[in-house]
Amino acid sequence: MSLITDEIRSSATEFYTGNDICQVKSKFLLTEVGLPNGLLPLEDIEECGYVKDTGFVWLKQKKKTEHKFEEIGRLVQYAPEVTAYVEPNRIKKLTGVKAKELLIWITLNEIYVNDPPTGKITFKTPAGLSRIFPVSAFEIKEEPNDVKEENAAAKEVKETAAAVEVKEV
């Protein structure tokens, strides 16, 4: 059963559909509230929304996905619908996110950055268990614009060279 009703959609301060814009907006929101931008690496997001008055956020994707955070060696599972309430440096009442601990999947319901300068982030379960990791494990390193432009130019040169080779054969 979906937690997202038409009433919630209509009260949203921000509402977007389509993977590209939802990816950008979800990373922006995480950064804006003081959390790492790679915390919710969802795929094929169909819609996302934010009700600023309450802090309620939702992300809907086509299907359940799993992501391994390589730096800490943890596998995390994201349901087709992820919801939460956000506030500065904290996500509360999180639904749709589980982490694999040894051989079992454990539901997560709260994530917070303790003291931003220390670079530590805490994940809590409904039972009160918690784990602390470095914030850097959940950040997506953005390339500076000049590096992006160089990479795009290099890719274009390679594609042009490949097209020329195909024509010559």
Question: The CATH number of the domain where 110 resides is what?
Answer: 2.30.240
Higher pLDDT, residue 165 or 112 = 112
pLDDT band at 8 (very low <50, low <70, confident <90, very high): confident
Rounded Cα gap, residues 11 and 13, in angstroms:
6
Among the residue ranges 74-78, 90-94, 147-151, the one predicted with the least confidence is 147-151
Residue 37 domain-assigned (yes or no): yes
pLDDT digits (tens, 9 = 90+) for 40-53: 999 999 999 999 99
Domain count, the chain: 2
Question: What is the separation of C-alpha 10 from the centre of its chain, rounded to a whole number of angstroms?
Answer: 23
Residue 166 domain-assigned (yes or no): yes
pLDDT of 32 strictly over 60: yes
Residue 41 domain-assigned (yes or no): yes
**Do both 30 and 83 map to the same domain?**
yes
Model pTM? Answer: 0.79
Share of the chain above pLDDT 90, in %: 69
**Do both 78 and 149 map to the same domain?**
no
pLDDT of 117 strictly over 80: no
Residue 151 domain-assigned (yes or no): yes
Task: Compute and round to an integer the Cα radius of gyration of the chain.
Answer: 19
**Do both 47 and 89 map to the same domain?**
yes
Range of the domain at 39: 6-138
